Every structure is written in structure tokens, then in C-alpha cells.
Amino acid sequence: MITGEQYKERIAKQKPNVYMGGKIIDRFDPKLLGGIYVMAATYDLAFDPELKDVGTAISHLTGEKINRFTHIHQGVEDLLKKQKMTRLYCQEVGGCIQRCMGIDALNALSVVTYEADKQFGTKYNENFINFLKRVQKEDLSLNCAQTDVKGNRPWRPHEQKDPDLYLRVVEKRPDGIIVNGAKAHNSCSTYVDEIIVLPTRNMTEEETDWAVAFAVPPDWEGITLINAAYSPNKRKKLEAPYNKIGMGHSVTVFDHVLIPWERVFLCGEAALAGKLALLFALFHRHSYTGCKAAVSEIFTGATALAAEYNGIERAQHVRHTLADMIQIVDLIYAAGIAAAIHSIKAESGTYIPDSNYCNAGRMMAGESIYKEYEALAATAGGLPATLPPEEDFYNEKTRPYLEKYIMRNPEVSAENQHRAFRMFQDMMSSAWGGHKLIDYLHGGGSPVIEKVAIYRDHNINHSKNIAKKLAGIPFEGTTKNIDNRLSHAWL
């Protein structure tokens, strides 16, 4: 296990290949520091004595103590601890902890590389285990580049006018494969040790070139990261933990990149591409039941604070709003707990959370974000949008006016009023807040995709049989069980 400082020293050694704002930038460009701060926290929090059981695990490969973000779930307890760690860490930093996609990709690969070797006699699991040992020993941070740029949505990969709109293998050589294409929306790719590339969807037999998975450092020859970065507004004087965070997302271009065979985890086995894509999404949605529970709790706390500072906390409509918000926190988290308890063990030994509970939790998480913004905005009033700039609170002439007229609840000081509303502004009325609004909806998979999964994995005939029985209509089978899962068919 390494510290946040050691992680930063390693990232500082990467070659410059990040473009932002029309030019090549340093990996420690001020706009990227917020993301690096969050990633470093995943290292330092693992040493926090209050969190020790949550942030670390024992490697099933080496018996060594490792950072939990590099662990393969060996039982229900591991899934529960991963969810709890994700929630606690997100609460600590104030939002997305960013390193979850690494553990989720590792767990998906642990299952699918094992099955690939069994079905096709390949050596992907050996490649994966060697890679995993390095990830655990060196405590590597990982991005998962799954989402392809995808071109015209209704067309499959092989139907696109430009075949590179889904990343693909263009050549197989004795020393490795050459891949070409681009992945989209790659969070934290500019400040991780390795990018794990996975297929974005199922592939048909005509699409073996697109059925590819591998790991590669982000500064590898032929890779260009075209990045967008967001942070809460920078503060001049009124520093707060929430203002230290940030996040970057890149279009990651692979221009005829050589991937050595030992880094390849799937290449041409179309039958397993969909399973790998779905499994990563499933593990990631389980992580979401931890992170989004934290985000919902932050919104709940901010709304309660706004109510207290406005002097309206006893109003009945405020209490109802808060009760609705608490219910969202609890149901999202409960979905993750249920998914862990109802997990199944894959042949590789990895525990896979229940699909329906994960998707139900993730869908609720995605859709509820707009209600949470609304609740905070409604309770806080208009000030988050119209708060004068920070400098005016420190200008000799305007400071006395602002400190006098920001006052609401007389029990709360002017500075704390300012601090609270400044954070509400960052959360909702800023470039950061706008970007998070889309992130919370689509990151980890859009709610519409969860609907597809929920419908796919629920045995609707079982539900219909219950209705038939109650209506006195004949049906086949029994209703005296809770046999409403079809997810085991694709798992």
C-alpha cells in the first residue's frame, strides 16, 4: 500500500499527452489538481485508523494487506465493505471518489477471463492475474474506459460508416495487437496509473474485432487524452474542503496503439464481450449504491442546513422534503446491501452482486438527483444563484453591508451563512454543479439502461402468475416462492 504523496510522485513521471483548452498541459495543471486531490485521498484514507477494516483487505492471491480498491470480492462481506468504503470516502471528500471503476473493472475481468480460458483455451486469466498482482503490490489507480464514442446510435459497431467509432483491433502481431479508435467520457484518465479498456456492449460474430479488453498506461505511445476538467469555484479566502475537489474526463484516442499480448484480456471472443460489458456495469452500479447514497446524504444535509440557516427548519413542508430525501438515501444504500446479500459466486470465486437490486438502486440514484437539486434550491431560496463574489465580502466598503444583509437565523454568524450559501452555489449554480447534474444521471449508466436490465432480469411471468392466481385464471408452476430472477441466465 502506498500513500497519496507516493501516488502523486508516480503520476508526475508520466509523459505529457494531455490536451486541454487547445494546448498540451502538464499533468499537475491547476485544473487537474482537484481530481488528483480526490484520488490521493483513496490512498491516505486507507491508513485512517477509524476506517481500517473498510479501506483495506487481504489479497486472496498473496495474503498481503492491500488497498480495498485493488481487491477481488471473496464473499458477501467484501461487497458490503466495498459499498461502505465507497459511501464513507465520498462523504469525506464531498462527492465521487473516482477510484471505484478500477475495482469494478478488475472484478468483471476476474470472472470473464476465467471463463474465456475455460471456453476457448486462451491465457487471458494468467495475463489478468499477473496484472492484478502488480496492481495490488504497487497499489495502482485505474480508470475504466468502457464507453465507446458509438457514432450513430441505432447502428451496431460493424454497421458504422467509420469502423473506428467503436474501438477495435486492426492488426494482430506476434508481439501484440494494434488497436484503433477512441473511448469517451473517461473520468480520471489523466491522473491514473493504468487505463482498463473494456467493450461497451455485446458483440456479434461479425464483430470479433471489436471484442477486445486490455490494460495500458495513459501515457503509452499513440494515446492522446483530450480532457475537460471541472472543480467547484476556486476560493481566495474562504477555503473549505469542498473546494479542494475536482474531476477530469477525457476523450481517449488510440491511434494505432500496440498492446503487448501480456496486457490483453480479451481479443476476438465475441461471445464474452457482452458479458464483460454487463458485468463491469453491474459491479459499477453496486458501487453507485455507496457513492450516490453519500451524495444524496450530502444534499440532505445541505438542505437541512439551508432550512436551519433560513430559520424554517420547523416548517412542515421542510420536514416532509427532508423525509423524502432521507428515504432516497436509505433505499439506494439498502439496494446495495440487498445486492451483496443476494450475490452469487462465479466459478472464478468472485462474488457478483444481484443484478436487479443493483439496477433498481442505480436507477433510483440517477433519477432522484433532479429532486435533490430541486429540494436544496427550494429550501435555500435564490441566494445560491445571486450571491455576490467572494471579494465583495472582503472589500472594506461592501463587507459591512453584506455581513449585515446576509443575516437570517440570528443564531448563525454571517461567516457561516456565507460559507453555507457559497457551498450551495458551488453545488448547484456553477459549472461544477451543472456538470455534476449530468454526471449523476449518466455516470455508471443512464437510468434507461437500468430499466432495460431490470425488465430483462425480472421473471415477469412469475409476477403474472401471482395476478392470474388471484384472478382465478389457470397458470403453470407455483407462486409459493420469490422466484422472480432471470439474471442467473446471463451470469
User: What is the residue whose three cell numbers read 479566502?
Assistant: 237
Would you count residue 187 as binding ligand FAD (CB under 6 A)? Answer: yes
Residues of span 195-254 touching ligand FAD by CB under 6 A: 249
Would you count residue 446 as binding ligand FAD (CB under 6 A)? Answer: yes
- Alpha carbon distance 119, 109 (integer Å): 15
Would you count residue 438 as binding ligand FAD (CB under 6 A)? Answer: yes
- Alpha carbon distance 146, 162 (integer Å): 19
- Can you tell me which of 267, 282, 443, 487 binds ligand FAD, judged by CB under 6 A? 443
* Contact of 133 with 62, CB cutoff 8 Å: yes
Would you count residue 445 as binding ligand FAD (CB under 6 A)? Answer: yes
- Alpha carbon distance 101, 283 (integer Å): 9
Stretch that binds ligand FAD, among 59-67, 411-419, 440-448, 457-465 (CB under 6 A): 440-448
Of the pair 93, 305, the CB lying nearest ligand FAD is at 93
Would you count residue 146 as binding ligand FAD (CB under 6 A)? Answer: yes
- Can you tell me which of 72, 101, 116, 279 binds ligand FAD, judged by CB under 6 A? 101
Minimum CB distance to ligand FAD, residue 101 (Å)? 6
- Alpha carbon distance 194, 409 (integer Å): 50
Would you count residue 174 as binding ligand FAD (CB under 6 A)? Answer: no
* Contact of 166 with 422, CB cutoff 8 Å: no
Q: Kindly tell me the burial class for residue 204, based on how many C-beta atoms sit within 10 Å of its own C-beta (0-12, 13-18, 19 or more).
A: middle
Q: CA-CA distances (angstroms) from residue 169 to 180, 222, 450? A: 6, 14, 29
Beta strands 351-352 and 344-345, pairing class? antiparallel
Of the pair 177, 188, the CB lying nearest ligand FAD is at 188
Q: CA-CA distances (angstroms) from residue 46 to 69, 133, 302, 469, 484? A: 10, 19, 27, 53, 39
The partner residues of 194 in beta bridges, in order of sequence, read 142
Of the pair 68, 201, the CB lying nearest ligand FAD is at 201
- Can you tell me which of 3, 59, 74, 147 binds ligand FAD, judged by CB under 6 A? 147
Would you count residue 448 as binding ligand FAD (CB under 6 A)? Answer: yes
Closest CA to 270 of 120, 71, 447: 120
Residues of span 255-294 touching ligand FAD by CB under 6 A: none
Minimum CB distance to ligand FAD, residue 408 (Å)? 34
Of the pair 145, 412, the CB lying nearest ligand FAD is at 145
Half-sphere exposure of 67 (CA within 13 A, CB side): 32
Residues making up the chain, counted from first to last: 491
Would you count residue 185 as binding ligand FAD (CB under 6 A)? Answer: yes
- Can you tell me which of 127, 136, 180, 186 binds ligand FAD, judged by CB under 6 A? 186
- Can you tell me which of 13, 153, 161, 314 binds ligand FAD, judged by CB under 6 A? 153
Stretch that binds ligand FAD, among 18-26, 122-130, 149-157, 297-305 (CB under 6 A): 149-157
User: What is the residue whose three cell numbers read 492484478?
Assistant: 132
Would you count residue 303 as binding ligand FAD (CB under 6 A)? Answer: no
Of the pair 145, 177, the CB lying nearest ligand FAD is at 145
Would you count residue 158 as binding ligand FAD (CB under 6 A)? Answer: no
Stretch that binds ligand FAD, among 45-53, 183-191, 331-339, 354-362 (CB under 6 A): 183-191
User: What is the residue whose three cell numbers read 433519477?
Assistant: 367
Q: Kindly tell me the burial class for residue 143, based on how many C-beta atoms sit within 10 Å of its own C-beta (0-12, 13-18, 19 or more).
A: buried
- Alpha carbon distance 294, 359 (integer Å): 17
Minimum CB distance to ligand FAD, residue 346 (Å)? 22
Q: Which residues contact 488 (CB under 8 A, 6 or more apart)?
A: 344
Of the pair 284, 485, the CB lying nearest ligand FAD is at 284
* Contact of 111 with 346, CB cutoff 8 Å: yes
Would you count residue 150 as binding ligand FAD (CB under 6 A)? Answer: yes
Minimum CB distance to ligand FAD, residue 292 (Å)? 13
Binding-site ranges for ligand FAD (CB under 6 A): 101, 143-147, 150, 153-154, 185-187, 249, 438-439, 442-443, 445-446, 448
